[in-house]
Amino acid sequence: MTRSPLAQPFPDMPAVAGVTVRTARARYKEWDRADLTFVTLDEGTTVAGVLTQSRCPSPEVEWCRAALTLGRARALVVNAGNSNAFTGHRGRAAVEAIAARAAGGLGCLPSDVFVASTGVIGVPLPIDKAEAGVDAALTVPPASWLDMAEAIGTTDTFPKGAMTRAVVDGRTVTLVGVIKGSGMIAPDMATMLGFVFTDAACEPEFLQRALTGANARSFSCITVDGDTSTSDTVLAFATGAAGNSALVDEDSPGADAFRAALDDLCRQLALLVVRDGEGAAKLIEIQVTGAESDRSAHRVALSIANSPLVKTAVAGEDANWGRVVMAVGKAGEPAERDRLSIRFGDTQVAREGLAVEGYDEAPVAAHLKGDEIEIGVDLGLGEGAATVWTCDLTHGYISINADYRS
């Protein structure tokens, strides 16, 4: 698969105390690569998660949703090549078998094991291959973050990871994230599959609030194609190995620093997914201001970001701001035509419902030839604002998805 022109190099990421990564070949598809990831976590690890809002979720999502209520984790198993979604009782049996096999190898409860799968919908995950993959992963040497990023991918063209640090209660804590996602990206919660690991000590309730907030400003602000996956999962694991006093609430020492670091990490990961949007050649940032509320601005921004006409215009490097007007108008949010202003990059192209008289299109054309595009919209109604990120829509998206199962 051709590497995305927007790809970023995989960073040098440190180990996180209390986390061990292993990968194995379950051979879910006919490919010569690891496709099962097994992460073990020290006792005392807490967990939080955000999961797809799809009404047709995978059994893995349902399993994680139930396990999250307990707030503790000892392992994570990730399968690539088969999403196990829309597979009925056979899919549920596969998840139960994976959790039981992993728990047996670690001496923990199945509810301490989190499971995620990604790939083709409607094909039951083969239990024999999954169990064999878990067994194999228990016997191999530890793997790197890069190994994990490569093993969890499907149509991804480059491995994705990010890291950051914060000082919490006088201790330096590390946060590392690995993510996969390229298509079927319009999250109501998170993106395809993303996993965050930190050595900070966090109570599960605090970690959940921090992740929910970070998600709202990152994963829920990206879209590639307007389609929300059945399997979207982001999980955060905190081992406590850094030795800080556990973060209990927003008044705990270092809580603000930890939340800022988590926000930064999630934003880095979210943008990597957009950079690998199927067929993408341009990263698009859409800033909406002047809305009646932040929520309204977010909905308008997503309407623009999900418009095939806007996305193809950017792909064709055409400053067709009329398509942006269309997308604002169809969003179903308060908007007044004669207060609307639009810019491409730093150039204002429309103001108060009219094209800017005599504006020079040359800088707009130059901006659109780049690979990072900015579109600004001011509704002129209030103080609401939002930023979302998307990519252009090219022939490559059609080629990838027309041949996805072959």
The SS3 call for residue 144 is coil
The answer to whether the annotation marks 4 as part of a ligand binding site is no
**Is 154 annotated as ligand-binding?**
yes
191 in a labelled binding site: yes
d(CA 97, CA 173): 35
Contact 163, 16 (CB under 8 A): no
Q: Please tell me the total number of residues recorded for the chain in this structure.
A: 406
Q: Which residues pair with 148 in a beta bridge?
A: none
Q: Which residues, 6 or more positions from 394, have their beta carbon under 8 angstroms from its beta carbon?
A: 279, 280, 281, 315
Tokens encoding 209: 């609030």
User: What does each C-alpha distance from 391 to 52, 54, 223, 242, 399 come to in angstroms?
Assistant: 21, 22, 8, 38, 16
DSSP string computed for 344-405: ETTEEEEETTEEPTT--SHHHHHHHTSSEEEEEEE-SSSSEEEEEEEE---HHHHHHHHTTT
Question: What distance in Å separates the CA atoms of residue 45 and residue 36, rounded to the nearest whole number?
Answer: 22
**Closest to 75 in 3D by CA, of 128, 138, 28:** 138
Q: How many angstroms separate the CA atoms of 82 and 127, rounded?
A: 12
Q: Which of the 8 DSSP states describes residue 229? A: -
Catalytic one of 45, 191, 223, 230:
191
Question: Annotated catalytic, 191?
Answer: yes
Gap between the Cα atoms of 224 and 334, Å rounded? 25
Question: Can you read off the two tokens belonging to residue 303?
Answer: 């309407």
230 is in an annotated binding site: no
**Cβ atoms of 46 and 71 closer than 8 Å:** yes
- Cα distance between residue 51 and residue 338, in whole Å: 40
Which sequence positions are flagged as catalytic?
191
Binding site residues for substrate, as ranges? Answer: 154, 180, 191, 278, 401, 406
